[in-house]
Amino acid sequence: METSIFGLRTAANREDQVVDYLISKLQRDSNSSIITVIRPHGMRGYIFIEATSKLDAEITLQGVPYSRGLLPQEIPYPEIEHMLEQVKVEMNIKKNDIVEIISGPFKRENAKVIRINKQKEDIVVELLEAAVPIPITVKMDAVKVIRREESDEE
């Protein structure tokens, strides 16, 4: 079966929502022509789709929120190959760790890790200096561990 790679325009900063919706739609529809959904890290406003044909992909993508349509040309594999190489760094963050937020609106704030979502690479933290503990979701690469709980010691 011959497949092609197409670029799908999305609303900026909504790539994750498009991918999540698309994957859940594909799990419900076993007859879909979309084979792979690729969301390159750091690329805003676009995701890539591997499908058997452009027409079938357009039909499947109808009604997907935040999607803005397929690009007119198919994308050659060598053009996106560097985005597909998996450079996975094992994050050494555990529940109850004390972390410092290193980017975003809460930069330089210390927080305690409450929950970890490894699939989405998100963690839920509570700021230590806050009067009322409010859970905040941040990306794993937006924090660094500054103190561990004593349970790691042997």
Task: Write the pLDDT tens digit of every residue in 84-103.
Answer: 766 555 568 889 999 999 98
37 φψ region: left (φ > 0), alpha (ψ -120 to 50), beta (else):
beta
Mean pLDDT of the chain, nearest integer: 87
Assigned domain for 141 exists: yes
The CA distance from 45 to 13, in Å, is: 7
Mark whether 78 and 105 lie in a shared domain: no
Q: Is residue 22 part of a domain?
A: yes
**Which residues, 6 or more positions from 92, have their beta carbon under 8 angstroms from its beta carbon?**
145
The dihedral through the CA atoms of 25, 31, 32, 36 has a sign that is positive
**Using one digit for the tens of pLDDT, what is the confidence trace for 47-72?**
999 999 999 899 989 999 999 999 99
For the chain, the domain total comes to 2
Q: How far apart are CA 99 and CA 113, in angstroms?
A: 7
The pTM is what?
0.57
Question: Structural domain of residue 13, as residue ranges?
Answer: 4-84
Is there a single domain that holds both residue 44 and residue 19?
yes
- Pair (75, 118) in one structural domain: no
